[in-house]
Amino acid sequence: MFTIEHEFDATVITLVDEGDDPRDYLQEDITIQSFEECVVIEQLDDQTDIVQHITFSHAQLRELAAALDLPEGVYRLRQVAKK
C-alpha cells in the first residue's frame, strides 16, 4: 500500500510494507519527499530508533529507476531531444 500527498514544497509518497504472509517480518514505512532540487528517502531504523535519510538528485533517481530493469553492466542515460 502507498499514499501520495501534495504539500506546499514537495510531493510526499509513503510506502507501507504489508507483507504477503502474516509470518513475514515487516519493514518500517518508507517516506519519499520529492522537492524541486532533490528527492529525500527516509526510513526509521527500528534498532536505533533514528530516521535514516538518503538524498538523491533527480538525475540519480532516473538512473536508479532505469537500473532496476537492466542486466549487469555500465550505463549512461542520454537525453532525448524534444521536438
- The C-alpha cell at 1 is 500500500
pLDDT along the chain (83 residues), means of 10: 92 89 85 96 96 96 90 85 72
The beta strand positions in 1-83, using DSSP E, are 2-6, 11-15, 30-34, 39-45, 50-56
**Whether pTM exceeds 0.85:** no
Torsion of CA 20, 26, 70, 55, to 10 degrees: 150
